């Protein structure tokens, strides 16, 4: 059951991700990205990390992607026109993509022992290979404690980083107005 | 396992049927309330006091020609109303309507599913609801619809911030994300509610204002401002597709009213403990209504009142007696309080629609970013300090 659900939503995520690149219209691409975010949230939920799943939907699907679509609608961007593709990209791109996928598969294979399958609530119980959070579970309480004790410094650094990004955006916008 | 599936299916059926009827009749209630505010009778022709008007509206909407304009972006045009109604109905699934109920030996919660992060679920689903409106506006290929969709997405992103911050303050006090636990912690009368006990009056008002904007209601109904945008984002929609947007708006109204009840007003808890007679209140109200109806049936002013008023009087008295039966009192009285509080907030929605004019667009944006958002942050900070410092 867990594996079937995982396969369904993983397939949706991958198909949507490919669709983001294949679609010529920006709105369709953005919507496919929403699909990726949604199926990722389901995968988190499947692992028992319900807080992260909810945060994924609220932050990515609910806020960031709405802004993307808002901007696309505001600029009224039309569909892209396909230009003549270079043969160079085809010749180099396909082998490089295959190589990258092989390296990724090998890496994942060496990381996880053979026979590890997805099971419901894997994030909460004993999963020795998924980092320090694995032992503590995925509820809001555990995530909060981990964020403000063990990961306090990265958390604060991230917030400063976001603050810098906001300041940068304001500076850029002011230049446009002047 | 089998019992669980059967009970769940039965609960889904009951909640769905009640929700759909409420959606249809909420619109009748709203038309009546606004009509009486504006000193006119409102719907009056179809059935007694227009009571069959929702039925007539449904038949009209279903049998209307379903026109898809040739210039729309068809897949997204068809997807948009579906998204709007799905997201609006989905959040009802985590709302608890009352304590547990025992049917034929099986005890179950009066709630479709009890998530331990119900508040976040409602927030997540409602933040997805904006796609329905934004896509409807964009895919219609119509300038009025596009402006309506743009306005709505900007408005919903902006008002989601004060809304979330206003929700966070009572959550800090109750220390839980489960809607059921939230109500259990506010048990024991009005002085235990987050509104009074937690001093969350400011965040309650912020929540209500932001909820008006999130549901695109007056005074924040700029996405469908009919005197400048024809009908806003649903200009190009007809028949059941238009009806799904309409239903989504009313379902969202019900959801935010339920959330306000659960977060601030103690859910299904009575305003004062049962030992001081709070469980008698519904029976007394219905008995009083029944007696009044009977009195007017005896001293009838019109001839038909002799027949209609006694019938209603007897029905009200039977309901009053039902509220006194000990075997149903355990879940019926909490359900009454929940419906009364939610209904009160829904009435406020209609009251404000009947009395306030629409905001200008720059006022709308300035109000949330320059006033509502800072106040919500301050309120959250103060609440956080108080919760941290008090034992």
Instruction: Using DSSP, state whether B198 is helix, strand or coil.
Output: coil
pLDDT tens for B76-106 read 888 888 888 888 888 888 888 878 777 767 7
Dist. CA B182–CA B174, nearest whole Å: 6
Global confidence as pTM:
0.83
Contact flag B117-A66 (C-beta cutoff 8 Å): no
CB count in 10 Å sphere of residue B310: 17
Contact flag B153-A66 (C-beta cutoff 8 Å): yes
Contact flag A62-B150 (C-beta cutoff 8 Å): no
pLDDT tens for A49-108 read 778 888 888 888 888 888 888 888 878 777 777 776 777 777 888 888 889 989 988 888
Position B57 pLDDT exceeds 70? yes
Interface test with B, best of A70, A78, A124 (most B CBs within 10 A): A70
Contact flag A50-B117 (C-beta cutoff 8 Å): yes
Contact flag B117-A55 (C-beta cutoff 8 Å): no
CA distance A149 to chain B (A): 17
* ipTM over cut 0.85: no
Chain B residues in contact with A58 (beta carbon < 8 A)? 120, 123-124, 127
Interface test with B, best of A52, A73, A75 (most B CBs within 10 A): A73
Residues 93-132 of A with CB under 8 A from B: none
Chain A residues in contact with B149 (beta carbon < 8 A)? 73
Dihedral sign, CA of B96, B99, B100, B101? negative
pLDDT tens for B106-162 read 777 777 777 778 888 888 888 888 888 888 888 888 888 888 888 888 888 888 889
Contact flag A140-B160 (C-beta cutoff 8 Å): no
Contact flag B160-A62 (C-beta cutoff 8 Å): yes
Which of A58, A62, A70 is nearest residue B154 as measured by Cβ atoms? A70
pLDDT at residue A165, rounded to an integer: 93
Provide the CA B262 distance to its chain's centre, in angstroms: 12
Contact flag A34-B120 (C-beta cutoff 8 Å): no
């Amino acid at each position: 059951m867990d594996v079937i659900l995982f396969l369904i939503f993983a397939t949706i995520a991958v198909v949507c991700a490919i669709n983001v690149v294949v679609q010529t219209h920006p709105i369709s691409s953005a919507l496919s990205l929403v699909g990726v975010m949604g199926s990722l949230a389901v995968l988190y939920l499947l692992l028992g990390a319900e807080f992260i799943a909810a945060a994924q939907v609220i932050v990515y699907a609910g806020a960031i992607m709405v802004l993307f679509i808002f901007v696309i609608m505001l600029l009224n961007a039309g569909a892209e026109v396909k230009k003549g593709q270079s043969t160079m990209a085809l010749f180099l791109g396909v082998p490089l993509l295959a190589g990258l996928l092989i390296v990724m598969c090998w890496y994942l294979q060496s990381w996880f022992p053979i026979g590890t399958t997805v099971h419901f609530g894997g994030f909460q119980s004993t999963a020795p290979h998924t980092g320090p959070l694995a032992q503590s579970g995925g509820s809001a309480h555990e995530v909060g404690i981990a964020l403000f004790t063990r990961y306090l410094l990265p958390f604060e650094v991230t917030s400063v980083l976001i603050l810098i990004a906001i300041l940068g955006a304001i500076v850029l916008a002011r230049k446009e107005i002047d | 396992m089998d019992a669980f599936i059967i009970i769940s299916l039965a609960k889904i059926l009951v909640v769905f049927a009640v929700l759909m009827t409420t959606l249809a009749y909420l619109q009748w209630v709203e038309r009546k309330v606004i009509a009486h505010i504006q000193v006119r009778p409102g719907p009056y022709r179809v059935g007694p006091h227009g009571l069959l008007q929702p039925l007539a509206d449904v038949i009209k909407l279903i049998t209307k020609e379903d026109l898809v304009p040739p210039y729309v972006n068809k897949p997204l045009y068809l997807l948009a109303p579906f998204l709007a109604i799905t997201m609006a109905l989905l959040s009802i699934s985590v709302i608890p309507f009352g304590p547990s109920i025992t049917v034929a030996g099986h005890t179950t919660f009066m709630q479709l599913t009890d998530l331990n992060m119900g508040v976040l679920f409602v927030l997540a689903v409602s933040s997805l609801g904006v796609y329905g409106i934004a896509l409807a506006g964009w895919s219609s290929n119509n300038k009025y619809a596009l402006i309506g969709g743009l306005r709505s997405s900007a408005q919903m992103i902006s008002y989601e911030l004060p809304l979330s911050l206003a929700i966070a303050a009572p959550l800090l006090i109750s220390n839980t994300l489960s809607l059921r636990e939230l109500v259990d912690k506010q048990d024991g009368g009005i002085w235990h509610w987050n509104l009074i006990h937690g001093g969350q009056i400011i965040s309650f008002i912020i929540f209500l204002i932001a909820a008006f904007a999130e549901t695109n209601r007056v005074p924040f109904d700029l996405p469908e401002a009919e005197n400048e945008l024809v009908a806003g984002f649903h200009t190009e929609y007809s028949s059941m597709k238009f009806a799904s947007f309409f239903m989504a708006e009313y379902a969202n109204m019900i959801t935010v009213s339920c959330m306000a009840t659960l977060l601030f007003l103690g859910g299904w808890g009575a305003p004062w403990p049962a030992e001081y007679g709070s469980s008698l209140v519904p029976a007394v109200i219905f008995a009083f209504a029944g007696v009044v109806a009977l009195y007017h049936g005896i001293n009838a002013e019109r001839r038909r009142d002799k027949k209609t008023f006694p019938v209603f009087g007897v029905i009200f008295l039977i309901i009053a007696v039902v509220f006194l039966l000990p075997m149903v009192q355990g879940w019926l009285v909490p359900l009454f309080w929940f419906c009364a509080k939610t209904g009160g907030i829904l009435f406020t929605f209609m009251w404000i629609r009947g009395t306030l004019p629409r905001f200008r667009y720059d006022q709308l944006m300035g109000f949330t970013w320059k006033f509502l958002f800072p106040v919500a942050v301050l309120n959250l900070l103060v609440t956080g300090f108080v919760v941290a410092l008090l034992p």
